């Protein structure tokens, strides 16, 4: 149920209230609005309003506030909400710059593709296709040639109910593949939640850690990432246990996911990870139903307030099948492109995909439309 938000509501908020300031009302021609719109980081996405939500005593109240009026609404807030609003506004506007991945520089002023390379026998979409190391390396080079800025190598399936893989087996699956791709100049990410696998992959040439548990599954993983000084992807999952899909009971899925990622960003920063090297992923499909996933896609811009690049991973997810007569995983390309186009339109900096060439083409069309709107 929708509850409208007023300045009086803000002024009377309790000390336990939380504020969420999401960019809204995106615009194609910011130059026609003078100072009535703002830019998300250093992306090609501008917005003309804030969707302000107050979460207090179990009730969420919301209002859409034009950019020029935002300061007046902040003035009506108690001090703890003023601090939240200021930090979230600053997070949205902070440039994300680039990721330096060995000799590769991945600029984040437009969406970049992360190609998925699962060297597993049982992943939900492509399990068993790349278990041979030579074939996997060839597939990784193909992803890079097709337009992937980063190739994400994973040695353990994280589909619902998948068995936990012993660290040694996971290392055996990924180590030679990571090394072969890295030697060939590919920027490699390691998709794992285990510290030992992270260490082996980083030693073999991986440049990013992509952890579905947001460094919660393994007690040593934080230490490994801090020591390596590498970028890390923190993904939301409702559980840090063996089955990351366990749980998933939300009061308000967008805000619950946001709160968890905000806590993990703060924990990683406190542990010594450079904030500029933290990437967040809302974890589409992990312990989330169709309605939950749709809410996350529609509210994706909220995660910009964390001040981190956003990685969005909707490729071939069950959400697409649920919306299209239970289409099987290998027949979800159209839905994948639609989801990632939507994410790009909300300023997502990285898109994790199986089908690189097709999504690269969609992004080129997206970029062409943005350029035309800015210059017409």
Of 317, 318, 332, 370, which residue is the catalytic one? 317
Within 13 Å and on the Cβ side, how many CA atoms surround 306? 32
Is-catalytic flag, 352? yes
Cβ atoms of 22 and 91 closer than 8 Å: no
Q: pLDDT-derived band of residue 156, with 50, 70 and 90 as boundaries?
A: very high
Arithmetic mean of pLDDT over the chain: 95
The distance between the two most distant Cα atoms of the chain, rounded to a whole number of Å, is: 64
Segment 316-331 shows an average pLDDT of 95
Report the percent of the chain where pLDDT is more than 90: 89
Average pLDDT over residues 147-161: 92
Domain ranges of the chain: 3-93, 98-375
Q: Which three-class secondary structure state does DSSP give residue 356?
A: helix
Tokens describing residue 331: 């027949």
What pLDDT, on a 0 to 100 scale, did the predictor assign at position 240?
Answer: 87
Average pLDDT over every residue of 15-43:
95
Q: What percent of the chain has pLDDT over 70?
A: 97
Report the top-level CATH class of 98-375: alpha beta
Q: Where are the alpha helices (DSSP H) in 205-307?
A: 221-228, 253-271, 290-298
Per-residue model confidence (pLDDT) at position 120: 87
Give residue 21's pLDDT: 98
Residue 131: the pLDDT is 66
Average confidence (pLDDT) over 109-116: 97
**Cα angle 303, 340, 41; round to 5:** 40
Query: pTM of the prediction?
Result: 0.95
Give the pLDDT score at 3.
95
Residue 35 has a pLDDT of 87
Residue 206 has pLDDT above 90, yes or no: yes
Which residue out of 89, 316, 352, 370 is catalytically annotated? Answer: 352
CB under 8 Å to 155, separation ≥6 — which residues? 119, 120, 165, 169, 170, 171, 173, 174, 191, 192, 197
Residue 126 in this model has a pLDDT that exceeds 90 = no
20 Rama class: left (phi>0) / alpha (psi -120 to 50) / beta = beta
Region 80-95: mean pLDDT is 98
């Amino acid at each position: 149920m929708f509850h409208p938000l007023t300045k009086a509501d803000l002024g009377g908020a309790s000390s336990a209230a939380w504020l969420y300031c999401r960019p809204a009302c995106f615009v194609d021609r910011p130059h026609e609005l003078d100072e009535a719109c703002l830019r998300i980081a250093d992306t090609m996405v501008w917005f003309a309003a804030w969707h302000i939500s107050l979460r207090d005593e179990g009730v969420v109240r919301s209002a859409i506030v034009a950019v020029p009026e935002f300061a007046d609404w902040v003035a009506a807030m108690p001090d703890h909400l003023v601090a939240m609003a200021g930090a979230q506004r600053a997070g949205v506007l902070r440039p994300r710059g680039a990721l330096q991945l060995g000799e590769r520089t991945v600029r984040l002023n437009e969406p970049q593709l992360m190609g998925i390379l699962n060297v597993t026998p049982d992943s939900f979409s492509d399990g068993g296709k790349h278990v041979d190391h030579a074939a996997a390396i060839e597939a990784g080079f193909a992803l890079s040639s097709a337009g992937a800025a980063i190739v994400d190598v994973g040695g353990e399936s994280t589909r619902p109910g998948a068995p936990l893989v012993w660290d040694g087996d996971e290392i055996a699956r990924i180590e030679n593949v990571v090394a072969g791709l890295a030697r060939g100049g590919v920027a490699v990410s390691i998709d794992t939640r285990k510290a030992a696998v992270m260490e082996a992959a980083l030693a073999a040439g991986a440049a990013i850690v992509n952890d579905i548990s947001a460094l919660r599954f393994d007690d040593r993983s934080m230490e490994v990432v801090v020591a390596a000084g590498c970028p890390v992807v923190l993904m939301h999952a409702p559980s840090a246990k063996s089955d990351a899909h366990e749980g998933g009971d939300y009061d308000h899925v967008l805000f619950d996911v946001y709160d968890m990622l905000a806590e993990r960003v703060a924990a990683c920063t406190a542990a010594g990870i450079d904030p500029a090297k933290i990437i967040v992923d809302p974890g589409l499909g992990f312990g989330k139903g169709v309605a939950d996933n749709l809410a996350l896609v529609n509210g994706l811009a909220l995660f910009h307030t964390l001040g981190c690049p956003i990685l969005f991973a909707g490729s071939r997810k069950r959400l697409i099948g649920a919306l299209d007569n239970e289409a099987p995983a290998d027949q979800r390309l159209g839905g994948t492109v639609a989801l990632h186009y939507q994410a790009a339109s909300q300023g997502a900096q990285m898109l994790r995909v199986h089908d690189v060439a097709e999504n690269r083409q969609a992004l080129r069309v997206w970029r062409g439309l943005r350029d035309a709107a800015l210059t017409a």
